Amino acid sequence: MYCYKTFTQITDMGPYVTKLLLKLPTEAIGQRLATESLKIYTERKSAKTGEIILFKDLFHPEIPGAPAKGFQKAAKIYPGNDQGDYDAEGTWAVAEIEPDALGKRTEGTMLSSEYVIHEYTITLTCQSPDKEAQSFIFDTCLGDVCPQKKGWCQSVMTSGDILLKYAYFTPENISGQIPLVIWLHGAGEGGEDPQIAYTGNKVVNLSSRDIQEKLGGQAWILVPQCPTVWMDDGHEQLGRSGKSIYSKPLKSCIDEFIQHHKAFIDPGRILIGGCSNGGFMTVRMIIDYPDFFAAAFPACEAFYQENITPDIIRRLCHLPLWFVHDKDDELVNPAETSLPLYQQLVRAGAKNIHFTYYDRGNKVFSQYGPEFKFPPEQFKHAVWVNVYNDDCFTDIDGQPARDSDGPLTLWQWLGKI
């Protein structure tokens, strides 16, 4: 039998196997490669039990689904190398497959996710002009390739009652002190695997050249992971108390990370943001430590209006803030969370404050064509997609967000802090 590698792409919908890299036997090198000569069978298995998992409905996990196994179709196949790049003289075959349910690298519910095991059996049939057709079976995986994870590492706090694991991105050839961006994940990315916290959604895009340049050329990215959910107050995991048992541990995690890299982090440019459950924690942290952070950007945040006090407004009024929410959010009603907080801050005189407030109705996300539907279809809570892609550029009135220099996007705004 022969060997292959998987190639993972972290998309707006999460991590997917989008290529299979086949180490060609000598007799297959240079032969014609065609998609019709390829059969791809996969089984998605639990990393804990080794058993084939069942497809789950995100909103109805109690409903058993069909076994996650079957055939996938290649969109194209071409000669290449072991990193998935085209190479006319390469000794690998690169088979591109469209992202689909069988190719998703993670499985979970609204409150947790985990990486799954993909086991592939790939049959490639080749035929040269002077020989009979030969079939080669690839069923031994040599590992995974994911270029988007370049520069990312994982670690854990060294002291405290609650030790948070975290992932972080280190820019190359750091020059002087640069910003630190802290991103707080949503409810579905908590647990004990920091990889989920930065690849379960496209957090890795914050290390892309585009975002890094908008932040001034270089920026650290820190992604702490919560063992349960950030909204856990010790009594309820998803209550409305506005409290969290993780406030102090998270601050300790941030402090420890800064201490380890203090020569290369600008203490005046600590930026914090997060989505949903992490958007709540963003608000909680700037309330608890209002003079520590230089700016905050909570998305679809779940800090409820009954917990907004005059003291909170006084503590936050000076801080640059950019809220992101959809008016038809299915899970977190902005009329009970981000809107009243934004409105009270504006009335109190907050100056450097923006709110990208989507009213998408039946529209799809703007960076895709008319055929694209975000799964589940029209999931309006998922404004983090727009944050990662720097697609937040309007204010609450629908007009372009501006500063004294003119229109700007969220990440351009953060780069000016």
Burial of 396 (0-12, 13-18, 19+ CB in 10 A): middle
187, 229 in Cβ contact below 8 A?
A: yes
Give Rg (Cα) of the chain: 23
**Better-scored residue on pLDDT, 59 or 302:** 302
- Give the contacts of 350 (CB within 8 A, at least 6 positions apart): 316, 317, 318, 319, 321
Q: Which long-range contacts (CB under 8 A, 24 or more apart) does 132-137 make?
A: 134/27, 134/28, 136/2, 136/24, 136/25, 136/28, 137/1, 137/2
What pLDDT band is residue 28 in, cutting at 50, 70 and 90?
Answer: confident
Whole-angstrom distance, CA of residue 318 vs CA of residue 334: 22
**Residue 281 three-state SS:** helix
Please tell me the predicted confidence (pLDDT) of residue 128: 66
Which tokens belong to 286?
């700037």
* Residue-wise pLDDT tens digits, 40-93: 999 999 999 999 998 876 666 677 778 999 999 999 999 999 999 999 999 999
Mean pLDDT of 324-332: 94
**Better-scored residue on pLDDT, 376 or 251:** 251
Please tell me the predicted confidence (pLDDT) of residue 129: 64
From the centroid of its chain, how far is CA 367? 17
C-alpha dihedral (273, 276, 281, 284), degrees to nearest 10 = 100
Task: Report CA-CA distances (Å) from 97 to 29, 35, 86, 224, 350.
Answer: 21, 10, 15, 32, 49
Angle, nearest 10°, between helix axes 277-288 and 247-260?
Answer: 80
* Residue-wise pLDDT tens digits, 116-128: 999 999 999 987 6
Phi, psi of 13 (to 5 degrees): -95, 5
C-alpha dihedral (58, 63, 67, 72), degrees to nearest 10 = -40
Q: Are β-strands 295-299 and 265-275 bridged in parallel, bridged antiparallel, or unpaired?
A: parallel
Mean pLDDT of 88-109: 92
- Tell me the whole-structure pTM to 2 decimals: 0.93
What pLDDT band is residue 375 in, cutting at 50, 70 and 90?
Answer: very low
What pLDDT band is residue 115 in, cutting at 50, 70 and 90?
Answer: very high
**Better-scored residue on pLDDT, 294 or 99:** 294
Mean pLDDT of 233-242: 94
DSSP 153-194: EEEE-SSSSS--EEEEE--SS--S-EEEEEEE--GGG-SS-H
Whole-angstrom distance, CA of residue 348 vs CA of residue 163: 38
Least confidently predicted of 52-61, 243-252, 295-304: 52-61
Mean pLDDT of 221-230: 97
- Give the contacts of 140 (CB within 8 A, at least 6 positions apart): 1, 2, 3, 4
What pLDDT band is residue 175 in, cutting at 50, 70 and 90?
Answer: confident
What pLDDT band is residue 130 in, cutting at 50, 70 and 90?
Answer: low
410, 356 in Cβ contact below 8 A?
A: yes
Strand locations in 263-367, DSSP E?
A: 265-275, 295-299, 321-326, 353-358
Residues above pLDDT 90, as percent of the chain: 82
Whole-angstrom distance, CA of residue 48 vs CA of residue 375: 26
Phi, psi of 118 (to 5 degrees): -105, 125
Strand locations in 215-344, DSSP E?
A: 220-225, 265-275, 295-299, 321-326
* Residue-wise pLDDT tens digits, 252-280: 999 999 999 999 999 999 999 999 999 99
Q: Is the pLDDT of residue 363 over 70?
A: no
Whole-angstrom distance, CA of residue 407 vs CA of residue 255: 34
First to last CA, the chain: 56
Q: 325 - beta bridge partners?
A: 357
Which tokens belong to 360?
């998408």
Phi, psi of 177 (to 5 degrees): -90, 130
Please tell me the predicted confidence (pLDDT) of residue 60: 67
Among 132-141, 285-294, 375-384, the range with the most confident prediction by mean pLDDT is 285-294
